Amino acid sequence: MTLEESESDVGAFLAVFAALLLDNVLRLDETVGTVTDYVMATKPSRDLVVTLQSFDRLKQEFEALGEALTRYAEAHNAAPLNAEEHSQLQDSVIAGITVADLKDRLLSRLQVDLADMPLPVISAEQAAEVGVDVVY
**125: amino acid identity, one letter:** E
pTM over 0.85: no
Q: Between helices 46-78 and 100-111, what is the axis angle to 10°?
A: 60
Span 38-78, pLDDT tens digits? 888 888 888 888 888 888 888 888 888 888 888 888 877 77
The DSSP call for residue 130 is T
Highest mean pLDDT out of 4-8, 38-42, 121-125: 38-42
Domain segments of the chain: what residues? 3-129
Q: Would you place residue 118 in the very low, low, confident or very high pLDDT band (cuts 50, 70, 90)?
A: low
> Does the pLDDT value for residue 136 go beyond 50?
no
CA neighbours within 13 Å on the CB side: how many for 59? 16
Q: What is the pLDDT of residues 72-93, one digit of tens each?
A: 888 777 766 677 777 787 788 8
Residue 55 CA to residue 76 CA, distance in Å, equals 31
Residues 49/35, Cβ–Cβ less than 8 Å = no
